[in-house]
A and B are shown apart, each in its own frame.
Chain A
Amino acid sequence: MHGRVKVRTTEEERERKKKEQALKMKAYRAAMTKIQKKRAGGELDDEMLGLTTQILLRNPDVSTLWNIRRECVLEKIRKITEEEEKQQENSVKPEDEPKKDEAEEEPKEVVDSPQKLPVEDQLQSILNHELQLTEQCLMVNPKSYNAWHHRCWSLEQNPLADWQRELQLCNKYLKYDERNFHTWDYRRYVTGKAQVPNKQELDFCTEKIKVNFSNYSSWHHRSLLLPQLYPNEQQDRPMSEEKLREELEMVLTAAFTDPNDSSAWFYQRWLLGQGFHGDKDAFTVVAFRLDPHGKAVIGLDKPFPAFNAKVQLVGKDSSVDISSWLPVNRDKSIWKSTETITIEAQESYELKLPNQQIKLSALPLNRGYFYFKPPNSLSSSCSQDLKAELETQLQSCLDLLDYEPDSKWTLLTSSLLMRAIDPSSHHAKSLEHLQKLQKVDPLRKGYYKDLAARWTLEYELNKWPQSEKFPLQFELDKQSEALTSLPYGQYLIIADELGLPEKLRNLAQTFNELKL
């Protein structure tokens, strides 16, 4: 029967697809050969742009072709500006040398110019074409590094770039896929250029989290905006306490809705963290010891591979510069002086650094001078309001643990909350959670052990100054037998004797070297 619907069989369909594939391949090879030939000949013309467009529309990740395009675009722009300059010279000439013959030619040029667009429009059209192309390519692959990069490049070339339009584009793309980190990255670039108020960005970000909170990109975006919008004066929290409370509530709601979603918990960890310590390149001296024999050791709060600060030891009427230091341990948080310093007993000393001024105390039995500041003693820094909020959150987490005793994120977060509220009174309970975590999340056993060691040492180091043995003896009690590492070693340089569990003895070798 005529005109009856007949459907291709799968066999026929497959064969057809194969033929199509072969044809596409042939076309691709032909175009690539041609492009390479043209480039070798330096032909950076419109045809070249056309050829690269065809391939890039199918496969936006051929970076060579984008590079060639950029050459073409720059070449085109160069030609246009050159022409313009020439024209200007020509139009100036008749005035300089007014010849009567040429006066006839002048009107011709006037007729010519309306056909040709003004230079500015030509430039715009070239660059807009590039924008359109990247847009089409991003439809093919929204995560094409090359296409995003080319878009930025095209906009950078254009002093009249329309940043509002770019912002709209970001909105549109994030509606299609709210988790595309390329778009979020590009959005930050655009908002910077378009000078979008941070508040507006934050609202946008909140909307996206409402749609789907399982979104690292939007939490990260928040974490960049909030410290700027609501700065914390003491710098010991990421943002103002009031905002922090709101954020903590929001993130805990997300965590309660889906405790297995890690993105919210990660954001919460950031919220509960200690915020900025300012400059990445700055260090703080946390321990210092000056031997009666005139040898000095210094402990820094973090590894500092290039310690060469000018340290000045100031006495009552003398002052010595200690400028030559050698690293003692592998991560370079402990350094010793190479020189011997002459010191006088009964003198009171101060240590002067570019960003710190420290008063030294005398060690008993005339054993020299020292300075010590225990790590992370921040419990006192939070206000009553924030503390109340943290207590509420902790209670919610403990409630949640009633329903899901094995939820790893809840276990971890509740211990973090306890430590944010008061590390010492919750010390035992938070270590208990870490014990449990090693069981329910064995893949990260080492991480939890390491965390346990850090928390234990922080606890012990904070207790140490109250001990009778301070500062010459440091002892870890039997409960610390489970420790597998000894973090915060730089704090121990002031001691003569370390009482460590068997397992840790060999770890303390560096300290033996310090026996001065």
Chain B
Amino acid sequence: MSDELPEAFDLVVMGTGFTESCIAAAASRIGKTVLHLDKNEYYGGDSWGSFSLDALCSLLEKEVSESSALRNGSYTWHNVAAVDWDTDAPAVWTREAILAKSRRFNLDLCPRVLYAAGELVQLLIRSNICRYAEFRAVDHVCMNNNGEILSVPCSRSDVFNTKILTMVEKRLLMKFLMACNDYGEDKCNEDSLAFRGRSFVEYLQAQRVTEKIASCVMQSIAMCGPNSTFEEGMQRTQRFLSSLGRYGNTPFLFPMYGCGELPQCFCRLCAVFGGIYCLKRSVDAVSMDSQSQELLVSCEGKTLRAKHLVSGPGQVPINPVTPMRPNISRGLFISCSPLGNEEINKGGGGVNLLRLLADGGTREAIVIQLSHYSGACPEGLYIFHITTPAQSEDPIADLAPFTSQIFQNISQIVFSSHFTLYSPQSVEANALPLSIHCTSGPIYEIDYDAAISEAHRIFKELYPNEEFLPRAPDPEEIVIDGEDPSALNEHSLPEDLRAQLHDMELNSTENQ
């Protein structure tokens, strides 16, 4: 097959990160011609991909440039005491034993969980992109209760079964959650009205709840800080509650084989609707054809014409260069035992979510534990992803207050790594031509709401009157050119019905 590309496109997208892939899919879906490039040889751009263990290590060793998103990388191997932890697994996970399974890992630079009724899940369903993705329901949402990791009762059956609450506490928690669920413009009751403009903690205290319930709610359900407002807390609680009871026992989903799968799902839709893909292609320069107002994109010695260009951070040399700043501090650990007790790791442990607080609740970190059920790591090993907003250029120092809470007793960590994800400082809009749009890279959030809203915003700037990712048809809804679209093809009937019809026709000819 020839390597030659068409010369003109409606849209050239640089970088296969989440936001860029989303825009590429949306443009292709409405019939625009799309060329999607990435300077890397993998999907996901600089921050959104999943990697094998080998690949992650070389990424962490890589020399850092001015435009690098991943910096301050470091990793260490630890010697694990030869504890006969589990008779099925190898007695000792040595560095060699683990590296031999390198390709069984899908290590995310930017791991997330999805609210089961959140923006991304809704978008995937609405656009029919969900057909390309698989998910694991998160098994437990956890909290740190004075050093002990407990499963927070999420659903009604959790509340019923949990041993951490007394009978009356169960009632209080259910009552509180129901009140949050019913809170809204039309049916707000008077006592909640009084809390508008005050803090969520105040509201919680006024509900006569016990300390344990308060920490369940603050740490894991509303995921609030001491300064969160009442409205914010209510909104977050509602977001949690509305995602309950959809797929698993908790309100969260984790993409099988890692979050790096998600940008690829969007790329796939883009390709199905005719988008062209080239990885390991970088753009050398972008200029403007003053006559046609088109962009001239020079890409490895060739010049392409594009009406619009969307670029992920660090993908296109754009002047003036936007300085990068530390954005997210990350820790990534591999362990041979899960976090917490047997109760929250039944059947060898699943995918658990834990939100940690530090500095009196003003700082937070999200911990995601992945077992082999997530498809992201080999059986017998566990990945802990820790993510916190960057405070400095030192990810180890940023994460220390959190790692010390959970790893103090664990001598089972075999691999630890740290890095910082950098993002460009906000670009001044007028510094760029109107036909060039830059995405900002991942920000600190649990789900993908901000990334989707950015993709949506850029799409609307490109194509103000078009629908953002309408539902893609299923194969059986697609008509091939020249076919009568309303005709019922006999072959589309189930086999046995066809047989019955056939019999009937035979009978009628016999009768004649």
Interface residues of A (CB under 8 A from B): 2-9, 11-13, 15-16, 19-20, 23-24, 26-28, 30-31, 34, 54, 57, 210-214, 252-254, 256-259, 396, 399-400, 403-404
Contact A252–B171 (Cβ < 8 Å): no
Chain B residues whose CB sits within 8 angstroms of the CB of A2 once the complex forms: 481
Chain A residues whose CB sits within 8 angstroms of the CB of B477 once the complex forms: 7-8, 13
Complex Cα distance A278/B499, Å? 59
Complex Cα distance A254/B495, Å? 49
Within the complex, the shortest CB–CB distance from B511 to chain A, in Å, comes to: 12
B507 within 8 A of A: yes
Contact B174–A257 (Cβ < 8 Å): yes
Contact A34–B174 (Cβ < 8 Å): no
Complex Cα distance A6/B475, Å? 11
Known contacts A19-B488, A257-B160; A7/B479 CB under 8 A = yes
Known contacts A5-B473, A9-B485, A30-B503; A256/B497 CB under 8 A = no
Q: Across the two chains, which residue of chain B brings its CB closest to A214?
A: B156
Complex Cα distance A125/B161, Å? 45
Known contacts A24-B497, A30-B503; A253/B170 CB under 8 A = yes
Within 8 Å by CB of B485, from A12, A211, A212, A400, lies A12
Contact B167–A12 (Cβ < 8 Å): no
Complex Cα distance A212/B156, Å? 8
Known contacts A24-B497, A27-B497, A253-B167; A8/B485 CB under 8 A = yes
Chain B residues whose CB sits within 8 angstroms of the CB of A210 once the complex forms: 157, 160-161
20 A-B residue pairings within 8 Å (CB atoms): A3-B481, A5-B272, A7-B477, A7-B479, A8-B477, A8-B485, A13-B477, A15-B486, A16-B486, A16-B488, A31-B503, A34-B507, A210-B161, A214-B156, A253-B167, A256-B170, A257-B160, A257-B170, A257-B171, A257-B174
In the A-B complex, list the 8 residue pairs whose CB atoms are closest, starting with the nearest.
A30-B504, A27-B500, A12-B486, A15-B486, A19-B488, A7-B473, A12-B485, A257-B160
Chain B residues whose CB sits within 8 angstroms of the CB of A23 once the complex forms: 488, 493, 497, 501
Chain A residues whose CB sits within 8 angstroms of the CB of B159 once the complex forms: 257
Contact A259–B171 (Cβ < 8 Å): yes
B496 within 8 A of A: yes
Contact B171–A400 (Cβ < 8 Å): yes
Known contacts A6-B479, A15-B486, A212-B157; A256/B493 CB under 8 A = no
Contact B478–A6 (Cβ < 8 Å): yes
Within the complex, the shortest CB–CB distance from A246 to chain B, in Å, comes to: 14
Complex Cα distance A15/B484, Å? 12
Complex Cα distance A462/B168, Å? 36
Complex Cα distance A245/B12, Å? 71
Known contacts A20-B488, A23-B501; A4/B167 CB under 8 A = no
Chain B residues whose CB sits within 8 angstroms of the CB of A256 once the complex forms: 167-168, 170-171, 174
Chain A residues whose CB sits within 8 angstroms of the CB of B485 once the complex forms: 6, 8-9, 12
Complex Cα distance A24/B473, Å? 25
Contact A27–B478 (Cβ < 8 Å): no
Chain B residues whose CB sits within 8 angstroms of the CB of A6 once the complex forms: 478-479, 481, 485
Complex Cα distance A213/B175, Å? 18
Contact A30–B157 (Cβ < 8 Å): no
Q: How large is the interface on B (under 10, 10 to 19, 20 to 34, 35 or more residues)?
A: 20 to 34
B273 within 8 A of A: yes
Complex Cα distance A233/B487, Å? 74
Chain A residues whose CB sits within 8 angstroms of the CB of B160 once the complex forms: 210, 213, 253-254, 257
Chain A residues whose CB sits within 8 angstroms of the CB of B478 once the complex forms: 5-7
Complex Cα distance A31/B499, Å? 10
Contact A396–B481 (Cβ < 8 Å): no
Within the complex, the shortest CB–CB distance from B306 to chain A, in Å, comes to: 20
Known contacts A20-B493, A211-B157, A213-B160; A30/B167 CB under 8 A = no
Complex Cα distance A16/B161, Å? 50
Contact B157–A403 (Cβ < 8 Å): no
Within the complex, the shortest CB–CB distance from B140 to chain A, in Å, comes to: 15
Chain B residues whose CB sits within 8 angstroms of the CB of A213 once the complex forms: 157, 160
Chain B residues whose CB sits within 8 angstroms of the CB of A8 once the complex forms: 473, 477, 479, 485-486
16 more CB-based (< 8 A) A-B contacts, given A4-B481, A12-B486, A30-B507 = A2-B481, A7-B479, A15-B486, A16-B488, A23-B488, A23-B493, A23-B501, A30-B503, A54-B500, A211-B157, A212-B156, A253-B170, A256-B170, A256-B171, A257-B174, A403-B171
Chain B residues whose CB sits within 8 angstroms of the CB of A399 once the complex forms: 168
B80 within 8 A of A: no
Known contacts A12-B485, A213-B160; A27/B501 CB under 8 A = yes
B443 within 8 A of A: no
B172 within 8 A of A: yes
Contact B473–A57 (Cβ < 8 Å): no
Contact B175–A403 (Cβ < 8 Å): yes
Within 8 Å by CB of A403, from B172, B479, B504, lies B172
Complex Cα distance A396/B170, Å? 12
Chain A residues whose CB sits within 8 angstroms of the CB of B170 once the complex forms: 253, 256-257
Complex Cα distance A339/B496, Å? 76
Within the complex, the shortest CB–CB distance from B193 to chain A, in Å, comes to: 21
Complex Cα distance A204/B303, Å? 68
Chain B residues whose CB sits within 8 angstroms of the CB of A11 once the complex forms: 486
Q: Across the two chains, which residue of chain A brings its CB closest to B500?
A: A27
Contact A54–B496 (Cβ < 8 Å): yes
Chain A residues whose CB sits within 8 angstroms of the CB of B161 once the complex forms: 210
Complex Cα distance A403/B171, Å? 9
Complex Cα distance A396/B493, Å? 61
Within 8 Å by CB of A258, from B156, B172, B496, lies B156
Contact B493–A30 (Cβ < 8 Å): no
Within the complex, the shortest CB–CB distance from A57 to chain B, in Å, comes to: 7
Chain A residues whose CB sits within 8 angstroms of the CB of B473 once the complex forms: 5, 7-8
Chain B residues whose CB sits within 8 angstroms of the CB of A257 once the complex forms: 156, 159-160, 170-171, 174
Chain B residues whose CB sits within 8 angstroms of the CB of A16 once the complex forms: 486-488
Complex Cα distance A26/B498, Å? 11
Within the complex, the shortest CB–CB distance from A129 to chain B, in Å, comes to: 15
Within the complex, the shortest CB–CB distance from B294 to chain A, in Å, comes to: 22
Within 8 Å by CB of A34, from B156, B272, B496, B503, lies B503
**Binary interface profile of B, 452-494, with partner A (CB < 8 Å = 1, else 0)?**
0000000000000000000001000111110001111000010
Complex Cα distance A28/B499, Å? 11
Contacting A at CB under 8 A, from B169-194, are: 170-172, 174-175
Chain A residues whose CB sits within 8 angstroms of the CB of B171 once the complex forms: 256-257, 259, 400, 403-404
Contact B500–A30 (Cβ < 8 Å): yes
Chain B residues whose CB sits within 8 angstroms of the CB of A5 once the complex forms: 272-273, 473, 478
Looking at B161, B499, B500, B503, the one whose CB has the most chain A CB atoms below 10 A away is B500
Chain B residues whose CB sits within 8 angstroms of the CB of A34 once the complex forms: 503, 507
Within the complex, the shortest CB–CB distance from A480 to chain B, in Å, comes to: 36
Q: Across the two chains, which residue of chain A brings its CB closest to B159?
A: A257
Complex Cα distance A2/B160, Å? 59
Complex Cα distance A257/B177, Å? 11
Within the complex, the shortest CB–CB distance from B174 to chain A, in Å, comes to: 6
Within the complex, the shortest CB–CB distance from B47 to chain A, in Å, comes to: 32
Complex Cα distance A57/B499, Å? 14
Chain A residues whose CB sits within 8 angstroms of the CB of B480 once the complex forms: 3
Complex Cα distance A258/B175, Å? 9
Chain B residues whose CB sits within 8 angstroms of the CB of A252 once the complex forms: 167
Looking at A252, A254, A400, the one whose CB has the most chain B CB atoms below 10 A away is A254
Chain A residues whose CB sits within 8 angstroms of the CB of B174 once the complex forms: 256-258
Within the complex, the shortest CB–CB distance from A48 to chain B, in Å, comes to: 13
